[in-house]
Structure 1
Amino acid sequence: MSTVLVISGSPSKTSKTERVADHLARRLTAAGRQSDHLRLRTLPAEPLLGADTTAPEIAEAIQQVHRADGIVLATPTYKAAYSGLLKVFLDLLPQFGFSGKAVLPLATGGSLAHVLALDYGLRPVVSSLGARHVVQSFFLIDKHLTVTGDDLTIHEDSSGPLSDVLEQFEKALDGVPHGTVLGRTA
Protein backbone atom coordinates (compact mmCIF):
# COMPACT_ATOMS: atom_id res chain seq x y z
CA MET A 1 0.00 0.00 0.00
CA SER A 2 1.42 3.38 -0.96
CA THR A 3 1.59 6.19 1.55
CA VAL A 4 0.72 9.79 0.80
CA LEU A 5 1.55 12.86 2.81
CA VAL A 6 -0.77 15.79 2.20
CA ILE A 7 0.97 19.02 3.23
CA SER A 8 -1.09 22.15 3.69
CA GLY A 9 0.79 25.43 3.69
CA SER A 10 -1.83 27.85 4.95
CA PRO A 11 -1.19 29.77 8.17
CA SER A 12 -4.94 30.20 8.76
CA LYS A 13 -7.03 28.01 11.08
CA THR A 14 -10.08 28.65 8.88
CA SER A 15 -8.30 27.93 5.62
CA LYS A 16 -10.19 26.60 2.61
CA THR A 17 -6.87 25.21 1.43
CA GLU A 18 -6.59 23.10 4.57
CA ARG A 19 -10.18 21.89 4.05
CA VAL A 20 -9.29 20.84 0.48
CA ALA A 21 -6.22 19.02 1.84
CA ASP A 22 -8.43 17.18 4.38
CA HIS A 23 -10.83 16.30 1.56
CA LEU A 24 -8.01 14.84 -0.57
CA ALA A 25 -6.53 12.90 2.34
CA ARG A 26 -9.94 11.30 2.99
CA ARG A 27 -10.38 10.44 -0.69
CA LEU A 28 -6.93 8.87 -0.87
CA THR A 29 -7.65 6.83 2.26
CA ALA A 30 -10.97 5.69 0.80
CA ALA A 31 -9.06 4.59 -2.32
CA GLY A 32 -6.88 2.30 -0.20
CA ARG A 33 -3.90 4.59 0.35
CA GLN A 34 -2.42 5.36 3.73
CA SER A 35 -2.58 9.13 4.02
CA ASP A 36 -1.55 11.67 6.60
CA HIS A 37 -2.13 15.42 6.66
CA LEU A 38 0.71 17.66 7.79
CA ARG A 39 -0.57 21.12 8.67
CA LEU A 40 2.51 23.32 8.54
CA ARG A 41 0.79 26.01 10.67
CA THR A 42 0.95 23.60 13.63
CA LEU A 43 4.75 23.33 13.56
CA PRO A 44 6.60 25.45 16.13
CA ALA A 45 7.54 28.79 14.54
CA GLU A 46 10.97 29.35 16.08
CA PRO A 47 12.57 26.07 14.96
CA LEU A 48 10.75 26.21 11.62
CA LEU A 49 11.94 29.73 10.82
CA GLY A 50 15.36 29.04 12.34
CA ALA A 51 15.79 25.90 10.20
CA ASP A 52 16.34 23.81 13.32
CA THR A 53 15.88 20.35 11.86
CA THR A 54 16.85 18.78 15.19
CA ALA A 55 13.70 20.11 16.90
CA PRO A 56 11.47 17.07 17.45
CA GLU A 57 8.39 18.36 15.59
CA ILE A 58 10.47 19.54 12.62
CA ALA A 59 12.50 16.33 12.49
CA GLU A 60 9.27 14.27 12.54
CA ALA A 61 7.73 16.36 9.74
CA ILE A 62 10.84 15.79 7.60
CA GLN A 63 10.65 12.06 8.37
CA GLN A 64 7.00 12.03 7.28
CA VAL A 65 8.12 13.40 3.91
CA HIS A 66 10.90 10.82 3.73
CA ARG A 67 8.52 7.90 4.47
CA ALA A 68 5.84 8.94 1.94
CA ASP A 69 5.58 7.51 -1.57
CA GLY A 70 3.61 10.54 -2.72
CA ILE A 71 3.20 14.15 -1.69
CA VAL A 72 0.26 16.50 -2.19
CA LEU A 73 1.26 20.14 -1.71
CA ALA A 74 -1.78 22.32 -0.97
CA THR A 75 -1.15 26.03 -0.74
CA PRO A 76 -3.13 29.25 -0.79
CA THR A 77 -2.00 31.83 -3.33
CA TYR A 78 -0.60 35.00 -1.81
CA LYS A 79 0.65 37.84 -4.02
CA ALA A 80 0.77 35.55 -7.08
CA ALA A 81 2.92 32.94 -5.30
CA TYR A 82 2.62 29.90 -3.08
CA SER A 83 2.68 30.52 0.67
CA GLY A 84 5.81 31.56 2.49
CA LEU A 85 5.03 28.94 5.12
CA LEU A 86 5.30 26.22 2.49
CA LYS A 87 8.52 27.76 1.14
CA VAL A 88 10.11 27.80 4.60
CA PHE A 89 9.28 24.11 5.05
CA LEU A 90 10.47 23.07 1.60
CA ASP A 91 13.76 24.85 2.29
CA LEU A 92 14.33 22.53 5.28
CA LEU A 93 14.20 19.38 3.17
CA PRO A 94 17.38 17.75 1.91
CA GLN A 95 18.43 18.57 -1.66
CA PHE A 96 16.65 15.51 -3.08
CA GLY A 97 13.93 15.30 -0.44
CA PHE A 98 11.28 14.28 -2.99
CA SER A 99 13.46 11.69 -4.72
CA GLY A 100 11.39 8.78 -6.03
CA LYS A 101 8.08 10.42 -5.09
CA ALA A 102 5.02 11.40 -7.09
CA VAL A 103 3.95 14.96 -6.29
CA LEU A 104 0.67 16.80 -6.85
CA PRO A 105 0.94 20.60 -6.56
CA LEU A 106 -2.40 22.21 -5.74
CA ALA A 107 -3.34 25.82 -4.96
CA THR A 108 -6.38 27.83 -4.00
CA GLY A 109 -6.88 31.47 -4.79
CA GLY A 110 -9.29 34.25 -5.52
CA SER A 111 -8.49 34.76 -9.19
CA LEU A 112 -7.58 32.59 -12.14
CA ALA A 113 -4.95 35.24 -12.87
CA HIS A 114 -2.78 33.42 -10.31
CA VAL A 115 -3.01 29.95 -11.81
CA LEU A 116 0.53 30.14 -13.19
CA ALA A 117 1.94 30.53 -9.67
CA LEU A 118 1.94 26.74 -9.55
CA ASP A 119 3.83 26.11 -12.77
CA TYR A 120 6.25 29.03 -12.57
CA GLY A 121 6.74 29.14 -8.81
CA LEU A 122 6.14 25.80 -7.15
CA ARG A 123 6.84 23.26 -9.92
CA PRO A 124 10.54 24.24 -10.30
CA VAL A 125 11.09 23.86 -6.54
CA VAL A 126 9.39 20.45 -6.56
CA SER A 127 11.51 19.37 -9.52
CA SER A 128 14.70 20.57 -7.83
CA LEU A 129 13.82 18.38 -4.85
CA GLY A 130 14.08 15.37 -7.19
CA ALA A 131 10.45 14.29 -7.57
CA ARG A 132 10.09 11.18 -9.73
CA HIS A 133 6.88 12.49 -11.26
CA VAL A 134 5.14 15.85 -10.86
CA VAL A 135 1.57 15.46 -12.07
CA GLN A 136 -0.45 18.25 -13.64
CA SER A 137 -0.92 20.94 -11.01
CA PHE A 138 -4.42 22.08 -10.11
CA PHE A 139 -5.81 25.47 -9.11
CA LEU A 140 -9.10 25.79 -7.20
CA ILE A 141 -10.75 29.18 -7.34
CA ASP A 142 -12.18 30.30 -3.98
CA LYS A 143 -15.68 30.87 -5.33
CA HIS A 144 -15.86 27.13 -6.11
CA LEU A 145 -15.25 26.23 -2.45
CA THR A 146 -18.04 26.50 0.11
CA VAL A 147 -17.50 25.73 3.79
CA THR A 148 -20.55 25.06 5.95
CA GLY A 149 -19.61 24.05 9.48
CA ASP A 150 -17.15 21.19 9.03
CA ASP A 151 -18.30 20.41 5.50
CA LEU A 152 -16.56 21.43 2.28
CA THR A 153 -18.47 21.57 -0.99
CA ILE A 154 -16.56 21.84 -4.25
CA HIS A 155 -18.48 23.30 -7.18
CA GLU A 156 -19.02 20.89 -10.08
CA ASP A 157 -16.85 23.05 -12.36
CA SER A 158 -13.87 22.15 -10.16
CA SER A 159 -14.84 18.80 -8.60
CA GLY A 160 -14.66 16.83 -11.87
CA PRO A 161 -11.28 18.21 -12.97
CA LEU A 162 -9.96 17.74 -9.41
CA SER A 163 -11.01 14.07 -9.56
CA ASP A 164 -9.16 13.71 -12.87
CA VAL A 165 -5.97 15.20 -11.41
CA LEU A 166 -6.26 12.98 -8.34
CA GLU A 167 -6.61 9.96 -10.64
CA GLN A 168 -3.43 11.04 -12.48
CA PHE A 169 -1.66 11.32 -9.14
CA GLU A 170 -2.77 7.83 -8.08
CA LYS A 171 -1.57 6.36 -11.37
CA ALA A 172 1.77 8.11 -10.87
CA LEU A 173 1.95 6.58 -7.38
CA ASP A 174 1.42 3.16 -8.93
CA GLY A 175 4.16 3.76 -11.50
CA VAL A 176 1.87 3.89 -14.53
CA PRO A 177 3.83 5.38 -17.46
CA HIS A 178 3.30 9.09 -18.13
CA GLY A 179 1.50 8.58 -21.47
CA THR A 180 -1.08 6.40 -19.74
CA VAL A 181 -1.48 8.94 -16.95
CA LEU A 182 -2.54 11.49 -19.55
CA GLY A 183 -5.17 9.17 -20.96
CA ARG A 184 -3.04 7.63 -23.72
CA THR A 185 -1.12 4.41 -23.85
CA ALA A 186 2.64 4.84 -23.82
Structure 2
Amino acid sequence: MANVGRAVLQGGLSLKKILLALCCSLSAGCVGFYQQPAATAPHATLEAIQGPNTLLNGGVQMYWAYYDPGCNDTAETGVLGTRKGEVSERFLLIPDRRIYVNVMSSGGANKEGANALRSCANLVSFIPAVGATYQVIQSVPVSGCVADITDKTTGRSPDSFRREAVVGGCSP
Protein backbone atom coordinates (compact mmCIF):
# COMPACT_ATOMS: atom_id res chain seq x y z
CA MET A 1 0.00 0.00 0.00
CA ALA A 2 2.95 2.36 0.52
CA ASN A 3 3.30 2.76 -3.22
CA VAL A 4 -0.37 3.49 -3.95
CA GLY A 5 0.23 7.19 -4.65
CA ARG A 6 3.21 6.41 -6.87
CA ALA A 7 1.66 3.46 -8.69
CA VAL A 8 -1.42 5.46 -9.64
CA LEU A 9 0.73 7.67 -11.89
CA GLN A 10 1.47 4.80 -14.24
CA GLY A 11 -2.22 4.44 -15.09
CA GLY A 12 -2.40 7.87 -16.74
CA LEU A 13 -5.11 9.18 -14.43
CA SER A 14 -6.00 12.83 -14.03
CA LEU A 15 -4.16 14.94 -11.47
CA LYS A 16 -7.37 15.21 -9.43
CA LYS A 17 -7.64 11.40 -9.24
CA ILE A 18 -3.96 11.08 -8.33
CA LEU A 19 -4.31 13.56 -5.49
CA LEU A 20 -7.49 11.83 -4.29
CA ALA A 21 -5.72 8.46 -4.29
CA LEU A 22 -2.75 9.94 -2.43
CA CYS A 23 -5.00 11.54 0.19
CA CYS A 24 -6.96 8.31 0.65
CA SER A 25 -3.80 6.25 1.07
CA LEU A 26 -2.37 8.73 3.56
CA SER A 27 -5.55 8.99 5.60
CA ALA A 28 -5.98 5.21 5.66
CA GLY A 29 -2.82 4.91 7.74
CA CYS A 30 -1.19 2.45 5.35
CA VAL A 31 1.72 4.72 4.56
CA GLY A 32 4.57 5.40 6.97
CA PHE A 33 5.66 8.90 7.91
CA TYR A 34 9.18 10.16 8.51
CA GLN A 35 9.50 10.76 12.26
CA GLN A 36 10.73 14.35 12.44
CA PRO A 37 12.61 15.23 15.63
CA ALA A 38 11.10 17.72 18.07
CA ALA A 39 12.07 21.33 17.43
CA THR A 40 13.90 21.28 20.79
CA ALA A 41 15.95 18.17 19.87
CA PRO A 42 19.13 18.29 17.77
CA HIS A 43 18.05 18.53 14.14
CA ALA A 44 18.78 19.85 10.66
CA THR A 45 16.19 21.70 8.58
CA LEU A 46 15.23 20.85 5.01
CA GLU A 47 13.37 23.48 3.01
CA ALA A 48 11.46 22.15 0.01
CA ILE A 49 11.34 24.90 -2.59
CA GLN A 50 10.35 25.02 -6.22
CA GLY A 51 13.03 25.05 -8.86
CA PRO A 52 12.57 25.98 -12.51
CA ASN A 53 9.34 24.27 -13.45
CA THR A 54 7.32 23.86 -16.66
CA LEU A 55 4.31 22.14 -15.06
CA LEU A 56 1.04 24.08 -15.28
CA ASN A 57 0.53 26.12 -12.11
CA GLY A 58 3.76 24.62 -10.78
CA GLY A 59 2.22 21.19 -10.26
CA VAL A 60 2.59 19.34 -6.98
CA GLN A 61 5.80 18.06 -5.42
CA MET A 62 5.71 15.20 -2.94
CA TYR A 63 8.53 14.27 -0.56
CA TRP A 64 9.46 11.05 1.24
CA ALA A 65 12.45 10.32 3.50
CA TYR A 66 14.05 6.92 4.10
CA TYR A 67 17.18 5.38 5.56
CA ASP A 68 17.73 3.03 2.62
CA PRO A 69 18.12 3.53 -1.14
CA GLY A 70 15.16 1.22 -1.89
CA CYS A 71 12.65 3.56 -0.19
CA ASN A 72 11.29 0.89 2.14
CA ASP A 73 8.73 2.19 4.63
CA THR A 74 9.59 1.61 8.27
CA ALA A 75 8.16 2.84 11.56
CA GLU A 76 10.58 5.80 11.31
CA THR A 77 10.41 6.66 7.60
CA GLY A 78 8.01 7.47 4.78
CA VAL A 79 6.06 10.57 3.82
CA LEU A 80 7.60 13.96 4.60
CA GLY A 81 4.91 16.10 2.96
CA THR A 82 3.79 17.91 -0.19
CA ARG A 83 4.28 21.32 -1.71
CA LYS A 84 2.11 23.03 -4.33
CA GLY A 85 3.01 26.03 -6.46
CA GLU A 86 5.62 28.39 -5.09
CA VAL A 87 4.86 27.79 -1.40
CA SER A 88 7.86 26.24 0.37
CA GLU A 89 7.72 23.64 3.14
CA ARG A 90 10.11 22.99 6.04
CA PHE A 91 10.94 19.61 7.48
CA LEU A 92 13.12 18.71 10.47
CA LEU A 93 15.64 15.92 9.94
CA ILE A 94 17.53 13.68 12.31
CA PRO A 95 21.19 14.71 11.91
CA ASP A 96 24.34 12.63 11.41
CA ARG A 97 22.60 9.78 9.56
CA ARG A 98 22.38 9.35 5.79
CA ILE A 99 18.88 10.15 4.61
CA TYR A 100 17.42 9.33 1.21
CA VAL A 101 15.00 11.99 -0.01
CA ASN A 102 12.58 10.86 -2.72
CA VAL A 103 11.02 13.76 -4.63
CA MET A 104 8.19 13.37 -7.12
CA SER A 105 6.73 16.16 -9.22
CA SER A 106 3.39 15.74 -10.94
CA GLY A 107 1.08 18.01 -12.84
CA GLY A 108 -0.29 19.11 -16.15
CA ALA A 109 2.08 19.87 -18.99
CA ASN A 110 1.31 21.57 -22.26
CA LYS A 111 2.18 18.97 -24.87
CA GLU A 112 1.60 19.90 -28.49
CA GLY A 113 -1.23 22.27 -27.62
CA ALA A 114 -2.99 19.85 -25.26
CA ASN A 115 -2.68 19.40 -21.52
CA ALA A 116 -1.21 16.07 -20.49
CA LEU A 117 -0.23 14.59 -17.13
CA ARG A 118 3.49 14.53 -16.49
CA SER A 119 5.42 13.19 -13.54
CA CYS A 120 9.02 12.57 -12.63
CA ALA A 121 10.90 11.30 -9.59
CA ASN A 122 14.39 11.65 -8.16
CA LEU A 123 16.22 10.16 -5.22
CA VAL A 124 19.04 12.05 -3.53
CA SER A 125 20.87 11.35 -0.29
CA PHE A 126 23.09 13.20 2.16
CA ILE A 127 24.08 13.29 5.82
CA PRO A 128 22.53 16.38 7.48
CA ALA A 129 24.53 18.23 10.13
CA VAL A 130 23.08 19.48 13.41
CA GLY A 131 21.82 23.06 13.08
CA ALA A 132 22.30 23.26 9.30
CA THR A 133 19.57 24.32 6.89
CA TYR A 134 19.39 22.68 3.49
CA GLN A 135 17.22 23.23 0.45
CA VAL A 136 15.85 20.45 -1.74
CA ILE A 137 15.04 21.73 -5.21
CA GLN A 138 13.60 19.67 -8.03
CA SER A 139 13.75 21.32 -11.43
CA VAL A 140 11.21 20.22 -14.03
CA PRO A 141 12.25 21.53 -17.46
CA VAL A 142 10.44 20.59 -20.68
CA SER A 143 11.88 17.07 -20.51
CA GLY A 144 13.42 15.15 -17.63
CA CYS A 145 13.93 16.49 -14.12
CA VAL A 146 16.71 16.75 -11.56
CA ALA A 147 16.84 17.22 -7.78
CA ASP A 148 19.58 18.91 -5.77
CA ILE A 149 20.30 19.46 -2.08
CA THR A 150 22.19 22.62 -1.18
CA ASP A 151 23.45 23.96 2.12
CA LYS A 152 21.66 27.28 2.58
CA THR A 153 24.75 28.89 4.16
CA THR A 154 27.24 27.94 1.44
CA GLY A 155 24.94 27.59 -1.57
CA ARG A 156 26.72 24.32 -2.42
CA SER A 157 25.79 20.69 -2.09
CA PRO A 158 27.06 19.06 1.11
CA ASP A 159 30.13 16.84 0.65
CA SER A 160 27.97 13.81 1.46
CA PHE A 161 25.42 14.59 -1.31
CA ARG A 162 24.71 11.85 -3.87
CA ARG A 163 22.20 11.39 -6.66
CA GLU A 164 20.84 7.88 -6.34
CA ALA A 165 19.21 5.51 -8.81
CA VAL A 166 15.42 5.61 -8.64
CA VAL A 167 14.64 1.93 -7.96
CA GLY A 168 12.19 -0.23 -6.05
CA GLY A 169 9.72 1.70 -3.92
CA CYS A 170 11.30 5.01 -5.04
CA SER A 171 9.92 4.93 -8.58
CA PRO A 172 6.58 6.44 -9.60
Q: Same fold (TM over 0.5)?
A: no
Question: Which structure: greater strand fraction?
Answer: 2
Relative CO higher for 1 or 2, CA cutoff 8 Å, sep ≥ 6? 2
Q: Could you tell me the TM-score, scaled by structure 2's length?
A: 0.29
Q: Could you tell me the TM-score, scaled by structure 1's length?
A: 0.28
Question: Which structure: greater helix fraction?
Answer: 1
